[in-house]
Amino acid sequence: MESQTLEHTQPLALAQEPRNPGMALDLDWVTGVQANTSAIERRCATLSARRSVKKDYQAAWLLKAVTCIDLTTLSGDDTEERVRRLCAKARQPVRSDIMQALDMAPITTGAVCVYHEMIPAAVKALEGTGIPVAAVSTGFPAGLSPFHLRVAEIKESVKAGAKEIDIVISRRHVLAGNWQALYDEMKAFRAACGEAHVKAILATGELGSLRNVARASLICMMAGADFIKTSTGKESVNATLPVSLVMIRAIRDYYDRTGFRVGYKPAGGISKAKDSLVYLSLIKEELGDRWLQPDLFRFGASSLLNDIERQLEHHTTGAYSASYRHASA
């Protein structure tokens, strides 16, 4: 992981990645997928047990993490002013004095993620920046509203200016093994998104087993998902390393078979800078450097940025500041 240094943390000039068009439902592939839980847990235990990267290497990887954050506010008390402050933080996620001390050019977060009602305020606040607005949709977080309303919600969010749509799948289809229904649902959601990219939220903490996580991941990719995402952040169990490893390997298998890269987004419970380093190392080792760019990897987070900025200030000054000095909104 220490190959990344400060001068190489800016997003690369990448060719436009071909969008995943999906494929016909292959039930033989889906039902043949298994998950060895003990082996998965042993693999994940090796990640957090390693000595973390230090000094300039750590700063470089933390800056990389910042560029992959979907800076998020999904609260019932959200206001347009809160969203505008969040967008200002997305435009300048790390204080200018810290960036100057690191001798780095400005960076931005990967996106800003909000509820549908807040899309216009976010779009206006981010105008001219190139930072996309992502909107949660399809009856987020439970996904239990009438199907036609979920499809209509997607279309309304795209019309309002969202460039990315985070949809939630119907967990009951996974728990019942109704793979055709899940595939058809995901296909309809993808079609409703049009040119907007779609992230399929699996709500992995509610799927019952790692095998179900693997199978649901494949189904969503077969139906055309641009990203697969762990959680809404509202479940009792959100992103974990075992779940992430299962989903990442499903992405790798899908790429090996189809040649199309699908993105990955862990969300919920990732709030510490050291945790972001573990996830980045997992991506690098399992998928390779190409997936370390924000068009293929995102963190769904709000407080993570605060801790990263605090760690970067410590790197430049040698002292830790109070966390309230790095509020994201």
* Long-range residue pairs from 16-21, CB within 8 A, at least 24 positions apart, any chain: 17/261, 17/295, 17/296, 18/260, 19/197, 19/226, 19/260, 20/221, 20/224, 20/225, 20/226, 20/258, 20/260, 20/261, 20/262, 21/224, 21/260
Q: What average pLDDT score do residues 63-77 get?
A: 96
Question: Could you tell me the residue ranges of all domains in the chain?
Answer: 23-318
Q: What average pLDDT score do residues 112-139 get?
A: 98
- pLDDT recorded at residue 302: 84
Q: Calculate what percentage of the chain has a pLDDT beyond 90.
A: 86
- pLDDT recorded at residue 180: 98
The H or E element containing residue 307 is: helix 304-317
Are 303 and 326 a contacting pair, CB within 8 Å? no
Residues 178-210 pLDDT 10s: 999 999 999 999 999 999 999 999 999 999 999
- pLDDT recorded at residue 327: 65
- pLDDT recorded at residue 47: 84
Annotated catalytic residue within 166, 275, 295, 307? 166
Higher pLDDT among residues 286 and 48, named by residue: 286
Are 86 and 328 a contacting pair, CB within 8 Å? yes
Annotated catalytic residue within 89, 229, 275, 295? 229
Tell me if residue 56 is catalytic. no
Tell me if residue 272 is catalytic. no
- pLDDT recorded at residue 299: 97
Residues 225-259 pLDDT 10s: 999 999 999 998 999 999 999 999 999 999 999 99
**CATH number for region 23-318:** 3.20.20.70
Mention every residue, 6+ apart, whose C-beta is less than 8 A from residue 124: none
Residues 279-318 pLDDT 10s: 999 999 999 999 999 999 999 988 999 999 999 999 999 8
| pLDDT surpasses 80 at 11 | no
Tell me if residue 265 is catalytic. yes
Cβ neighbours of 134 (radius 10 Å):
29
CA distances to 7, 153, 154, 171, 294 from 149, in Å? 47, 6, 9, 17, 30
Annotated catalytic residue within 70, 265, 295, 307? 265
- pLDDT recorded at residue 8: 46
Which of 40-54, 75-89, 174-188 is least confident? 40-54
| pLDDT surpasses 90 at 329 | no
Which of 41-45, 106-110, 122-126, 146-150 is least confident? 41-45
DSSP 3-state assignment of 122?
Answer: helix
- pLDDT recorded at residue 6: 54
Q: What average pLDDT score do residues 262-283 get?
A: 95
Q: Taking all residues of the chain, what is their mean pLDDT, rounded to a whole number?
A: 93
Q: What average pLDDT score do residues 71-94 get?
A: 96
Which of 44-48, 94-98, 117-121, 236-240 is least confident? 44-48
Higher pLDDT among residues 48 and 8, named by residue: 48
